[in-house]
Amino acid sequence: MSPKAADIQRILEELYPEVPIPLQHKDAYTLLVAVVLSAQCTDERVNQITPLLFARADNPYDMAKLDVEEIKEIIKPCGLSPAKSKGISGLSKIIVEKHGGHVPESFEALEALPGVGHKTASVVMSQAFGHPAFPVDTHIHRLATRWGLSSGKSVEQTEKDLKAAFPESSWNKLHLQIIFFGRQFCPARNHKPELCPICSRYGV
């Protein structure tokens, strides 16, 4: 690990020794649905909507029985509701039909579900099942580029760069630490690099 990566990890560990998972959930299935809803939507908004949705269906069997239009109406405040409602309905049916009602514990099977991309699969694999993964969303992509840890050519490249920069055992926690840090110190707009504990040292 480079001295810069080690120092950034030390700063994050000092600021966020404990990192709760931002999306409220009770199991792998409710986390999966919450992550699907979180695309282009804030975690706060998702956490307001999921209790309403899970009151109707908090498992794939019940969700598969709901009409797509009903799901769409409930999740509308999260945005992209036509695509997300179809995805949630479709993935629930496949989990019931192909996986015995259990969220599959592999990248390949997760990414085969409708509405589930690599980032969503990475979040579920790391946060629900504890497998090492480094989910990279637009915020982490932006910060890794800003800190000179990645060229920032693509989200895929940033994920490779971060996995190479930090030990595998730290990936799951670092992903969350970077998200919390970005919200508190390193926003996309009105950022003051001189006041940021990392950008003041390593900003590019």
The residues that are catalytic are 119, 137
* CA distances for 68 relative to 12, 45, 85, 107, 175, angstroms: 41, 20, 6, 26, 32
70: left (phi over 0), alpha (psi -120 to 50) or beta: alpha
The neighbour count for residue 109, using CB atoms within 10 Å, is: 16
- Cβ neighbors of 200 (< 8 A, separation 6 or more) are 193, 194
CA dihedral 70, 75, 80, 82 (to 10 degrees): -10
Do residues 89 and 63 lie in contact, with contact meaning Cβ atoms separated by under 8 Å?
Answer: yes
